[in-house]
Amino acid sequence: MKQLSPLVGLAIALAACTSVSPDAPGLEPIPGSITYGGQPRTRLTKAPIGSPVNHQFRNEFGQRVEERYVIQPDRSLKLVTRRVYRGWPFSDD
């Protein structure tokens, strides 16, 4: 039984965190995303094309969300990954 405890803890820790791969269909902006409601008015003109842009915010449930965007050749942002931290042990409340 003692050997099972660390595995259960690891399973809970991994289950608390979800992410979406860059190739996942349907990765759409959610409220709080930089591109929710369209591209931002200002463009990142000095950042190299292909540069990552990280963004963190809280969703409507108070969960921490991390998103990564990539700067496209037209200077727009493409949402490529999203990770939602769902409660213990990753909550920082």
Q: How much is the pLDDT for 44?
A: 85
Q: Predicted confidence band at 89 (pLDDT cuts at 50, 70, 90)?
A: low
Structure tokens at 57: 């915010």
pLDDT in tens, 13-68: 444 444 444 444 568 999 999 999 999 988 888 899 999 999 999 999 999 999 99
- How far apart, in whole angstroms, are the C-alpha atoms of residue 88 and residue 14? 11
pTM of the model: 0.67
Give the per-residue pLDDT at 60.
93
- Domains in the chain: boundaries: 4-85
